[in-house]
């Protein structure tokens, strides 16, 4: 009886141990919302790495700038009248820009990225507090909500974001 009880106990311990080994963490698709202050020196959404003031990072997914990345402006805007997000994933031969304003929506409401990107010659509006944006990155996608536009010489913008290695969040 003791041997049987010991065998059952060992089996249960082994089963629990093996189940624990099957738990994986997918760091490429994170449904958890993170916060960061974006600025002109770059940020990597997949690693959470930001460049120090005056430096750049080689894996930057994008940065903030004081002019439209397409150099075209909507009525009432001009260079240095707002802050724009400039994604690193820009093909110089492409006719699109890989960032899109989804409007004043909930961040959780964006679950899929689309292929309908604005034309590279389109007038792109400056970032707006409360709006959600989607961007294509060199290693995935990001959706972010602008929570505060700080501005300043490095065009700081506070955002909540979710990174995904795929087109689904």
* 166 neighbors 45 (Cβ within 8 angstroms): no
Per-residue pLDDT at 16? 30
pLDDT by position in tens, the chain (length 169): 544 433 434 333 333 333 332 222 233 455 699 999 999 988 999 989 887 755 566 788 999 999 998 888 999 999 999 999 998 876 666 678 889 999 999 999 999 998 778 777 788 899 999 999 999 998 899 999 999 999 888 899 999 999 999 999 9
Classify burial at 57, counting beta carbons within 10 Å of its beta carbon; exposed 0-12, middle 13-18, buried 19 or more: middle
Whole-model pTM: value is 0.77
Per-residue pLDDT at 147? 98
**Residues 148, 51, 33: CA angle, nearest 5 degrees:** 45
The dihedral over CA atoms of 88, 91, 92, 97, expressed in degrees to the nearest 10, equals: -70
Per-residue pLDDT at 93? 66
Per-residue pLDDT at 133? 96
């Amino acid at each position: 009886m003791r041997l049987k009880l010991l065998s059952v106990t060992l089996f249960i311990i082994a089963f629990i141990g093996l189940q624990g080994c099957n738990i994986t963490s997918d760091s490429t698709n994170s449904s958890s919302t993170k916060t960061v202050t974006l600025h002109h020196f770059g940020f990597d959404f997949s690693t959470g790495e930001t460049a120090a003031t005056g430096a750049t990072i080689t894996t930057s997914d994008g940065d903030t700038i004081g002019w439209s990345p397409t150099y075209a402006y909507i009525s009432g805007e001009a260079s240095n009248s707002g802050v724009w997000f400039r994604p690193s994933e820009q093909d110089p031969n492409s006719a699109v820009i890989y960032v899109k304003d989804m409007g004043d929506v909930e961040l959780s409401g964006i679950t899929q990225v689309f292929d309908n990107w604005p034309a590279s010659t389109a007038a792109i509006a400056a970032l707006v507090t409360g709006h959600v944006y989607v961007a294509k990155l060199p290693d995935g996608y990001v959706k972010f909500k602008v929570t505060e536009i700080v501005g300043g010489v490095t065009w700081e913008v506070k955002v909540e974001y979710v990174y995904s290695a795929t087109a689904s969040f």
